Amino acid sequence: MMNRTILVNLICGLVGFIFTFMFSLQNNLPMTSLFRGLAGFILWFLLAFALQWILGLIAKQTANSDNPSSSSDGDQVTLGAQVDILTPEENEELKDLLKPKPEQEKQNGEFKPLQPPKLVSMKDPEELAKAVRHLKNE
């Protein structure tokens, strides 16, 4: 198991070395690119190690939560497994909001549809044609 973990980390480090070396080689000297590639190898190796460690912790936690009898406590309480949420009764408040108030009815009055101003101009068609010809020539 440990050899496999180190092998995966070495492969990730090698991929990091190749990417860093190739992209650095375009703008730097080969020796500088080699040092940056080695830094990329170390960084990717450590990132792969950290990722495997975190995934291992998550796997252990899920394995422990799936099998509660394996814990040291005989009567383990599973906190957060059940949520009881109740909302207060607000039926009267909702009914009051939905009922129209008499003073609002008097203020609103009758329904009047919106009558926006017309955007049609009543100019002479000859003037419009001259304007279009003038704009087209310039």
pLDDT tens-place string over residues 8-28: 999 999 999 999 999 999 999
pLDDT value of residue 104: 52
Range of the domain at 50: 32-63
d(CA 18, CA 55): 25
Q: What is the mean predicted confidence (pLDDT) over 96-112?
A: 66
Above 70 in pLDDT, residue 44?
Answer: yes
End-to-end, the C-alpha distance of the chain in Å comes to 79
31: number of Cβ within 10 Å: 8
Q: What is the pTM of this model?
A: 0.45
Domain tally for the chain?
1
- Model confidence at 50, pLDDT cuts 50, 70, 90, reads very high
- Residue 49 resides in a domain: yes
d(CA 6, CA 32): 27
Q: What percent of the chain has pLDDT over 70?
A: 79
